[in-house]
């Protein structure tokens, strides 16, 4: 091999080595960028977690939500409590059971006491207190000081009381409290929910009470407590008691109280006492005729309720007919949830209803038995929801409004047909 060939070979080898080095550097740079993108959020979260005490002390107006979870167990509790007592910006506290699980009772009360004194506190949110239950006396300690709170949420938790007669503190001074939301609330065996609901009822401006438990249970609330909810909560708009099984007499009495408060004559210039718009309850397996009769009487002249849900396994056929028939003249109810197996009588009653009712938008049924009937019902309910059926009654409606409706529903051929059929004068010169 001559010298020129050797030189060319060495140059080629050097060139290949240089290209490999460049490629290796590019790959390493790419790996660094990817790793930095992954680690950056983690570093930020780490800084945020370790700096929660400093953030509390800085009183930055943008720091309004305080989240305390299991990652904050490394914090010195005394320093955390001191920082909370210095803060004037936090409006919303979200507390995870993972933080409280490792705190002795004395330290828990120090924390509740400090959080309750936050001057701008509006929302309290507890979640995932399962393995370590949420103690009622701890909740009382916090609420007793947080007089300005607007919303209380307890999610996926066990609410535990040491004594059978323990109660939630009276909420008469909590004038800002409007929403109490318990979701997936576990009730320990041998405990009852009734005393807690009785305390919640005392909140003067309560507008939304939602209590959902994981499994159906009976005898958690009494008739008297249900009556207080309907009669004494003048500002209550949403009442949802999911899987808290009510006996027939409970449902009948509640329907009568709702009807009475709606129809009660008020002095001139005053609004009706009842403002309840949404009601959700659970019946015991079957919604029987006596209950249906009470609900039918309530809905016949209903002026406030827009949504009614009665959960159960089924509703008797004649009872369903009575409830549906009561809605022919109803101008308020938009959503009705009952159970399945409505039968031929139910189908016939439903057909008669939809000839006259232009307000109902949703009917929840598990089985109509007749797919054609179900499709027809869904179609007319959809027309109600879009306010198209009401146009059929007004053949002299303003032309511009009709054109606006036509443009809005130009992709729904059935809707266009309905509009045009109900308004033949739209083509008149």
CATH number of the domain residue 255 falls in? 3.80.10.10
The contacts of residue 390 (CB under 8 Å, 6+ apart) are: 358
**Total residue count of the chain as it appears in this document:** 429
**pLDDT value at position 115?**
97
The fraction of the chain above a pLDDT of 70, given in percent, is 77
Closest of 359, 350, 362 to residue 317, by C-alpha: 350
Q: Could you tell me if 426 and 371 lie in one domain?
A: no
pLDDT in tens, 92-148: 999 999 888 888 888 999 999 999 999 999 999 999 999 888 999 899 999 999 999
Which of 4-8, 257-261, 347-351, 391-395 shows the lowest per-residue confidence on average (mean pLDDT)?
391-395
**pLDDT value at position 152?**
98
Which of 66-70, 203-207, 391-395 shows the lowest per-residue confidence on average (mean pLDDT)?
391-395
The answer to the question of residue 192 being in a domain is: no
CA 45 from chain centre, in angstroms, equals 29
The answer to the question of residue 420 being in a domain is: yes
User: In the beta sheet, which residues pair with residue 315?
Assistant: 287
**pLDDT value at position 241?**
96
pLDDT in tens, 57-90: 999 999 999 999 888 777 889 999 999 999 999 9
Q: Could you tell me if 366 and 417 lie in one domain?
A: no
Q: Could you tell me if 82 and 111 lie in one domain?
A: yes
Q: Could you tell me if 316 and 227 lie in one domain?
A: yes
- Taking 90 as the threshold, does the pLDDT of residue 158 lie above it? yes
The answer to the question of residue 180 being in a domain is: no
**pLDDT value at position 224?**
94
- What is the average per-residue pLDDT within 185-192? 79
Q: Could you tell me if 243 and 319 lie in one domain?
A: yes
CB atoms inside a 10 Å sphere around CB 410: 10
Q: How far is the C-alpha of 312 from the C-alpha of 280, rounded, in Å?
A: 11
Question: pTM value?
Answer: 0.78
- Taking 80 as the threshold, does the pLDDT of residue 216 lie above it? yes
Q: Could you tell me if 255 and 354 lie in one domain?
A: yes
Q: Could you tell me if 99 and 233 lie in one domain?
A: no
Closest of 292, 355, 297, 368 to residue 328, by C-alpha: 355
The answer to the question of residue 185 being in a domain is: no
Q: Please state whether beta strands 307-311 and 278-283 pair in parallel, antiparallel, or not at all (unpaired).
A: parallel
Q: Could you tell me if 98 and 238 lie in one domain?
A: no
The boundaries of the domain holding residue 417 are 394-429
Q: Could you tell me if 330 and 414 lie in one domain?
A: no
Q: Where among 155, 174, 193 does a domain terminate?
A: 174
- What is the average per-residue pLDDT within 255-279? 77
**pLDDT value at position 63?**
93
Closest of 207, 204, 185 to residue 196, by C-alpha: 185
The answer to the question of residue 9 being in a domain is: no
- Taking 90 as the threshold, does the pLDDT of residue 244 lie above it? yes
The answer to the question of residue 403 being in a domain is: yes
The contacts of residue 238 (CB under 8 Å, 6+ apart) are: 207, 208, 209, 210, 276, 277, 278
**pLDDT value at position 378?**
79
Share of the chain residues as helix, strand and coil, in percent rounded to the nearest 5: 50, 20, 35
- Taking 90 as the threshold, does the pLDDT of residue 351 lie above it? no
Number of domains in the chain: 3
Q: How far is the C-alpha of 66 from the C-alpha of 13, rounded, in Å?
A: 62
Q: Could you tell me if 225 and 149 lie in one domain?
A: no
Q: Could you tell me if 427 and 341 lie in one domain?
A: no
Q: Could you tell me if 326 and 414 lie in one domain?
A: no
Q: Which residues of 107-143 are buried (b: 16+ CB within 10 A; e: fewer)?
A: ebbbbbbbbbebeebbbbbbbbbeebbbbbbbbbbbb
Q: Where among 174, 196, 222 does a domain terminate?
A: 174
Closest of 294, 220, 287 to residue 258, by C-alpha: 294
Q: How far is the C-alpha of 282 from the C-alpha of 293, rounded, in Å?
A: 17
The answer to the question of residue 125 being in a domain is: yes
Residue whose structure tokens are 């949403």: 238
């Amino acid at each position: 091999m001559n010298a020129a060939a050797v030189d060319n070979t060495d140059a080629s080898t050097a060139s290949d080595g240089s290209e490999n080095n460049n490629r290796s550097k590019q790959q390493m740079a790419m790996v660094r960028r990817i790793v930095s993108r992954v680690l950056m959020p983690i570093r930020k979260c780490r800084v945020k977690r370790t700096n929660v005490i400093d953030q509390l002390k800085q009183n930055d107006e943008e720091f309004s939500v305080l989240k305390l979870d299991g990652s904050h167990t490394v914090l010195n509790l005394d320093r955390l409590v001191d920082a909370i007592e210095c803060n004037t910006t936090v409006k919303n506290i979200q507390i995870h059971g993972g933080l409280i699980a490792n705190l002795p009772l004395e330290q828990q009360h120090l924390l509740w006491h400090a959080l309750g004194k936050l001057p701008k506190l509006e929302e309290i949110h507890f979640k995932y207190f399962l393995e370590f239950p949420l103690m009622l006396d701890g909740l009382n300690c916090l609420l007793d000081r947080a007089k300005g709170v607007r919303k209380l949420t307890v999610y996926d938790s066990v609410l535990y009381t040491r004594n059978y007669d323990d109660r939630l503190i009276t909420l008469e001074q909590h004038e800002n409290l409007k929403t109490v939301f318990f979701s997936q609330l576990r009730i320990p065996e041998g405990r009852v929910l009734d005393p807690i609901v009785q305390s919640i009822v005392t909140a003067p401006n309560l507008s939304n009470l939602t209590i959902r438990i994981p499994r159906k249970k009976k005898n958690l609330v009494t008739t008297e407590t249900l009556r207080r909810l309907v009669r004494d909560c003048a500002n209550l708009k949403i009442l949802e008691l999911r899987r808290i099984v009510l006996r027939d007499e409970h449902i009948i009495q509640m329907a009568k109280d709702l009807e009475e408060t709606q129809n009660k004559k008020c002095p001139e210039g005053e609004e009706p006492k009842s403002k309840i718009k949404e009601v959700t309850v659970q019946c015991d397996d079957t919604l029987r005729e006596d209950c249906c009769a009470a609900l039918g009487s309530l809905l016949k002249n209903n002026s406030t309720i827009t949504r009614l849900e009665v959960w159960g396994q089924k509703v008797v056929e004649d009872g369903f007919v009575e409830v549906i028939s009561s809605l022919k003249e109803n101008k308020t109810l938009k959503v009705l949830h009952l159970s399945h197996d409505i039968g031929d009588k139910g189908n016939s009653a439903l057909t008669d209803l939809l000839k006259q009712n232009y307000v109902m938008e949703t009917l929840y049924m598990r089985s109509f038995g007749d797919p054609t009937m179900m499709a027809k019902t869904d179609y007319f309910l959809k027309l109600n929801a879009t306010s198209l059926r009401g146009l059929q009654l007004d053949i002299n409606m303003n032309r511009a409004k009709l054109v606006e409706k036509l443009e809005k529903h130009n992709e729904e051929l059935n809707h266009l047909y309905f509009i045009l059929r109900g308004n033949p004068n739209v083509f008149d010169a």
